[in-house]
Structure 1
Amino acid sequence: MNLIPSFNLYSDANGIVEPRFLHIETIPTRSLGNDWTIRPHRHPELFQFLLLTDGGAEMQLESTTAQLVAPALTAVTPNAVHGYIFQPGTEGYVLTIAVAYLTDLVEHAADATARGVIRTSTIVPLAKDAETVEEIRLACERVSIESRRNLAGKQALVAADLLRILGLFVRLTAADQQRSDEASAAPDNLYERFRAIVEERFREHLTIADYASRLATSERTLRRATQARSGRTPLEILKQRILLEAQRDLLYTARSVAEVAYGLGFQDQAYFTRLFSAGTGVTPTQFRKRHNAYLSGTPEDRVDAANSTRPRQAGRSTF
């Protein structure tokens, strides 16, 4: 039984993560109302940065506990168990990004080092690097402001600051990159290796037996590894990745539903529609129409569309 709660954002329901999910808030926004305590939890499909600019916290990261003293930066990979007990009055930002969106940014930047860095949860003390702290803080502030605007160029400006934050993070952790690469091949990182191969091959509709064979393990061992880390089976993780790509294609391309299905390796559009509906609660056509209403309608239309498509999630910006 999975006893560790999974959320999109702490205390929010865990549902389908949209391809360009982005949320930024100050540390007090969520922790103040929870007595400065964020209990251990995890975020499927989401990568999270936390910038501590003032105060401190006790952080649980997987099976370890660390004392954070401002300034500090933490990075938490999808499904990594983490929690915080903040000192009252602690300040900083929490930036949460869909891993699919972050991966896209890394690929467009063609930064091989960044690909490795975002696979590992990290705590970076910044006491000796005040200039970098201020750069990251200003970038977070700009993302916070720009993500709430509805102006031309919003996506490009936000993406630029996300890349700046990521680039500074990569620079801070570059010395550890070789060790991270070596760790990614270790047996106890079977889950990460499975996620990596799913990312490469999800359009091919390989069986779980195929994935296990490529990872030189058994289906049973693979299932134990994925359930221990994420509470989900390999098949559930695979379906989730396909759904994320389907949502991206429906939102950001002009392809027909049939073309989206074919591009994801489905020969039967009806089967694709059933799978999509089971995972999201709406058909591909309904999903596209509702989000088009959100992106192009009046403020009132956007509220109605957001409520109809995201009934269990709040307090975020998506792109």
Structure 2
Amino acid sequence: MIQLEPISGIFKRERALLAAFPMRMLIVKEGAGFLCMNSGDYMLASGRIFFIPEEGLVRLEGEIKSGYWLTFSSLLYAEFLLQHLDPMAKNLFLNLSFRDLAQQESTKTYSLLDQLRREINARNDLPFLAQYLSLFLGYTAGLDGYLAALTLDELQQVLRFRAILEQYYKQERAIQFYAEGMGMSASKLNRFLDRVLGKSLAALIKDRIMREAEALLTHSDYSIDEIANLLGFEQTANFNSSFKRYKGISVFQFSKQALLN
């Protein structure tokens, strides 16, 4: 589902880079030369991060002294898109694009990549890696502006919280449970979530549940009763009322629209 490798050396364009998965990123820590695609040649530069579309071979001409080659599945990218409705997110890998990172951004990016490699090597579960990748893409693409102001430690805390939330949102609602997982008091976690994410734990859990409800109603064969049960609602009526307050339409109306689309 995801592969991250350090990349360095002198490259000739006659040989294409191998990609384990269709979504591809080249992060150049230090290098010079060109990234060569059918659409043209793009200059390699230190601190430059490339978002590479699925189509076409990737060839390099030049030297990379230090960098990373990241490839991942469309399934992991889909999780990122569920969290980022901005059209820029959908277009991120449509055509080759790149972003030059400032020094402080570069330092955080490389630290996040080193941590991601450790998580991959530790064979962490897919939901955890999906959350990490989503945070990484949002940060490096400049889509999650609030992340830019965070320290590296705060970025890691956001990641840890998202991973815990992803694993337990269907059955756990208590602030104390998440606080213990984060290694902090309930009041400190509340302050952290409000300051960094701008929402309470209850709002974040509800957002995640409703996002999952939309995905299940759109892409699964489960009945409404089964979806309500999967998401931790004791009664379907509670699920219906909660969904309508959140989306402004009933579960039935949403399902009907999804079917028509």
- Using the size of structure 1 for normalisation, the TM-score is 0.40
- Using the size of structure 2 for normalisation, the TM-score is 0.48
